[in-house]
Chains A and B, each alone.
Chain A
Amino acid sequence: MPRESAPHRQSAFLIEAMLLLAFLVASLAVFTTLMATSVNQSKKAASLTHAIAMSQNAAEQFAVSPEGCTKTWQESDLTVFVQVEKGESSPGGTMWHAHIHVDDEYGEVWTLDTSRFVAQGGEAA
């Protein structure tokens, strides 16, 4: 069996190394995209879950006291805004509406609308 010459072996090694490098670079590009998408989606999920919890807290505060609830506050990178609107007054009492939105540095993450009826005597449900 004839032995391969040194230059032949060297060029074969170089071709293999280059092919390997090209494969590695292509694979890393795919993995980076995969990981970046995963991280992005994970952050989005965490942010949405946090925003939902914050909006529910705001909604419950509004339910206790439509007029006196906190209108804005911040938690980590999220800010809650509560817009309270006095709705139509009727013989039985007043309906209050709240539009709650939670924003992060890029914009709105989550919104929630709720209402509360306060009877004439001031008693809410």
Chain B
Amino acid sequence: MMGERRREARFRLGPVSILTLVVCLCLFVMGVLALSTAHAQLTLAKRQAVLVTEGYANEQCGQVLLASVNDTAEEARQLGQNGYQVASLVQDDLDELQARLQDRLSEDAVVELSVENMQVIAHFESEDGRCLDVVLKIREDATVDVASWKATTLWSDESDDVLWTGNN
């Protein structure tokens, strides 16, 4: 009986030790929370960076498209051709232009070009959902107007969207 009491006494923690343990536990929890919050902030900032980069990559593609259509229109104007002929010329070069624009973006990006009713319609969609929709209107006098230039972001509700896996 006395031996048991002695053994119990040997492992007994003093109040100071218990207080220290509690303080350490609290500090540990706060440290982990601070780290996970900071990591989440950095992950979000990096995501924003990716979206901005992709947005401006789309913008560059849009500008290349505008330049190309404007060049075709200008050349046609100098030859005395009208808007319908410009639309036809753009339609003929559409595949080559689409390939050129696709090369500027990543492999997973989507580039869709079409010519409908004297309008060049383009849709650029990046891997992370940044989109740019451009509509260029070809007038009868073979000039080109920007009818629409709309940048949007697609929202995908990913259930496995993890801000931090704890791997890095």
Residues of A within 8 A of B (CB): 1, 13, 16-17, 20, 23-24, 27, 30-31, 34-35, 37-42, 44-46, 48-49, 52, 55-56, 59, 90-93, 95, 110, 112-117, 119-120, 125
- Chain A residues near B49 (CB-CB < 8 A): 48, 52, 110
Q: How far is the CA of A112 from the CA of B27 in the complex (A)?
A: 40
A66 nearest CB across to chain B (Å):
11
Decide if B41 is an interface residue (CB 8 Å cutoff). yes
Main SS of chain A's interface residues? helix
A-B pairs, top 8 by smallest CB distance, nearest first, are: A92-B70, A34-B31, A41-B38, A45-B41, A92-B71, A38-B34, A91-B74, A38-B38
User: What 0/1 pattern do residues 45 to 58 of B give for CB contact below 8 A with A?
Assistant: 11011001100100
Interface size on B, residues (CB 8 A): 44
Q: How far is the CA of A20 from the CA of B10 in the complex (A)?
A: 15
Would you mind naming 27 contact pairs between A and B with Cβ atoms under 8 Å apart?
A1-B5, A20-B16, A20-B17, A30-B31, A31-B31, A34-B32, A34-B34, A37-B35, A37-B38, A38-B38, A39-B38, A41-B38, A42-B38, A44-B42, A45-B38, A45-B44, A46-B45, A48-B42, A56-B52, A95-B64, A112-B53, A114-B59, A115-B60, A116-B63, A119-B66, A120-B74, A125-B63
A72 nearest CB across to chain B (Å):
19
Q: In the bound complex, do residue B28 and residue A31 qualify as a contact, i.e. CB atoms below 8 Å apart?
A: yes
Q: How far is the CA of A56 from the CA of B78 in the complex (A)?
A: 38
